[in-house]
């Protein structure tokens, strides 16, 4: 799929304008307030209620339909096995797993949080199940599976933080597989953006969610061959739906620099911040550092690892320079 134009006619994607997509909302109600959206959006993102109505409510409707179909497939499996629902031999429900991928600063975290909020709300009876049946929706970011800084330093990977090799990919895949298989409790490490490292001894525990959202740079990466030459399970093999948040590279760079400026005026001022030193130098010097990080880390990672996975997504949200979604590419079944 090209970087700046719509998919060709022979593409496996339907190419939808924002207006065409918005019309697919049907009767999905707006259940978030402007204050909710303000709380959920990331620093530098410009998501507002109009964006929620036009983009995220149709997506919530689509996902509700997929989740209902997922439940129906479980019923079909039990019918095939000759097992009555809830009876001996019946297969229990498993979580519906959604992957959210995209570049640094493109807004994928906001997308994941909005989906969590919308999918956790009680659903109406017309398309999505019993009225008043809220869901347990958990959101996990892959940051918790970054190798600790000490280990990155030992391996000479500190300058490649965010690249696939900087993660404990086996632990991440095992975590999602355990949740998907229905284990009662599964825990993940916790990452702190303040100290720019894994928090020792702190864990995030997930307990049988109805929906699990996994957000991160490289969640759509295909499986890599092991030392024995065999290709194992990819994280994306466990997804029931996936979203790639997309934009022109030059726009993402500007958003990254804008976010860096805002962080320099806020979170970086914390005495415990790993980046506090960039609040104690002139702004141009700090921004020169940010541009260097973009050129040497984030841009190569985007071009070499993240962007090539876009064609693996079920849905691509294509943003314009103002951070709003302009077009959507939905994979055909």
Indicate which CATH number applies to the domain containing 270. Answer: 3.40.50.300
Q: Is 102 annotated as belonging to a binding site?
A: yes
Q: Is 106 annotated as belonging to a binding site?
A: yes
Counting as low any pLDDT under 70, the low residues of the chain are 1-9, 85-91, 122-133, 226-227
Continuous H helices in 96-204: 108-120, 149-155, 169-180
Q: Is 104 annotated as belonging to a binding site?
A: yes
pTM for this prediction? 0.91
Specify if 2 maps to a domain: no
> What is the spatial distance between Cα 323 and Cα 333, in angstroms, rounded to a whole number?
28
Q: Is 273 annotated as belonging to a binding site?
A: no
Helix (H) or strand (E) holding 63: helix 57-81
> What's the domain range around 149?
13-331
| Whether the Cβ atoms of residue 271 and residue 254 lie closer than 8 Å to each other | no
Specify if 5 maps to a domain: no
Q: Is 52 annotated as belonging to a binding site?
A: no
DSSP 40-60: HSPTT----HHHIIIIIHHHH
Q: Is 320 annotated as belonging to a binding site?
A: no
Specify if 150 maps to a domain: yes
Count: domains in the chain: 1
Specify if 7 maps to a domain: no
Specify if 160 maps to a domain: yes
* Token output for 132: 């008043």
pLDDT of residue 5: 55
Specify if 1 maps to a domain: no
Q: Is 37 annotated as belonging to a binding site?
A: no
Q: Tens of pLDDT along 197-206?
A: 999 999 999 9
pLDDT of residue 90: 63
Q: Is 171 annotated as belonging to a binding site?
A: no
pLDDT of residue 166: 97
> What is the spatial distance between Cα 20 and Cα 128, in angstroms, rounded to a whole number?
22
């Amino acid at each position: 799929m090209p970087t700046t134009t719509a998919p060709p006619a022979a593409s496996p994607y339907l190419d939808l304008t924002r207006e065409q997509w918005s019309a697919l909302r049907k009767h999905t109600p707006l259940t978030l307030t402007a204050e909710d959206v303000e709380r959920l959006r990331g620093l530098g993102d410009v998501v507002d209620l109009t964006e929620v109505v036009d983009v995220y409510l149709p997506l919530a409707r689509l996902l509700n339909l997929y989740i209902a179909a997922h439940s129906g497939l479980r019923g079909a499996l039990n019918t095939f096995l000759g097992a009555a629902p809830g009876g001996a031999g019946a297969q229990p429900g498993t979580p519906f797993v959604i992957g959210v991928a995209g570049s640094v600063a493109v807004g994928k975290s906001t997308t994941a949080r909005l989906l969590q909020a919308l999918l956790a709300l009680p659903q109406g009876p017309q398309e999505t199940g019993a009225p008043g049946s809220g869901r347990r929706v958990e959101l996990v970011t892959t940051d918790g599976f970054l190798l600790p800084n000490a280990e990155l330093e030992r391996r000479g990977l500190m300058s490649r933080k965010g690249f696939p090799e900087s993660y404990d990919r086996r632990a991440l895949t095992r975590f999602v597989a355990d949740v998907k298989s229905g284990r009662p409790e599964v825990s993940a490490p916790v990452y702190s953006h303040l100290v720019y490292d894994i928090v020792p001894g702190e864990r995030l525990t997930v307990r049988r969610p109805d929906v699990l959202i996994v957000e991160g740079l490289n969640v759509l990466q295909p499986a890599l061959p092991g030392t024995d030459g065999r290709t194992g399970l990819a994280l994306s093999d466990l997804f029931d739906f996936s979203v790639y948040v997309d934009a022109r590279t030059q726009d993402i760079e500007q958003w990254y620099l804008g976010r860096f400026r805002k962080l320099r005026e806020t979170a970086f001022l914390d005495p415990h911040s790993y980046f506090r030193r960039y609040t104690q130098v002139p702004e141009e010097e700090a921004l020169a550092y940010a541009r260097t990080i973009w050129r040497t880390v984030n841009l190569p990672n985007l071009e070499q690892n993240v962007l090539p996975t876009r064609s693996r997504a079920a849905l691509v949200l294509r943003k314009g320079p103002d951070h709003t979604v302009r077009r959507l590419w939905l994979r055909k079944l």
